Amino acid sequence: MSEDTRYDAERIRRLLAMDGLAMVSSLIADGVPHSPFTAGLSMTVTDVRRGRVEMTLVAQERHTTHSGIVHGGVLATLCDSACGYAVQSLLPAGQYALGADLHLRFLRPARTGPEPLRCIATARQPVGSSILAEAELLGPQGALLAHATATILPRHPGTNPA
């Protein structure tokens, strides 16, 4: 990872100083990896509004199983990331979104190709100290490939994540 895209303490501090919508928007504007983990999978946030995020992934052979379909773990990561960013876009400065659970239902297999898979996530109503999010994973022609729900916990750095 180059010097300007590392997630060192200073970069994390700068990101957490922004409210969530500005933080996620800056990831698009900066053109840097959204996180060290998702950078390795080539996932990209393509649109963000308060409580809504769209992420894409151009599925490649390296994302597939031996049977040639996109690995469920890759699709789960895309849905989990989109749900987390949708909730992040609602949070005030100094908080981050921590996933508590993810429920994913696969409806159709995802395949490689030049057209990106799109994941659209929406943050729903707060429930106690958590926020629910939903995601739809769409294929190139808009076919629904998977549906996810997630429970996301807003947290402050330095606090126990549990």
Rounded distance between C-alpha atoms, residue 69 and residue 52, angstroms: 27
Residue 126: what pLDDT? 80
Residue 48: what pLDDT? 96
Residue 122: what pLDDT? 98
Residue 31: what pLDDT? 63
What single DSSP character describes residue 70? B
Structure tokens, 143: 């076919």
Residue 157: what pLDDT? 78
At 33-73, the pLDDT tens digits run 567 776 778 899 999 999 999 999 999 999 999 999 999 99
Rounded distance between C-alpha atoms, residue 132 and residue 122, angstroms: 9
What stretches of 65-161 show up as alpha helix (H) in DSSP? 72-88
Structure tokens, 70: 């996109």
Residue 97 CB contacts under 8 Å (≥ 6 apart), including other chains: 20, 84, 85, 87, 88, 91, 131, 152, 153, 154, 155
CA distances from 152 to 32, 95, 126, 132, 139 (A): 24, 12, 9, 6, 25
Residue 83: what pLDDT? 97
Residue 119: count of CB within 10 angstroms of its CB: 30
Residue 3: what pLDDT? 44
Residues of the chain with pLDDT under 50: 1-4
Question: Burial code of 59-90, b = ≥16 C-beta within 10 A, e = fewer?
Answer: beeebbeeeebbbeebbbbbbbbbbbbbbbbb
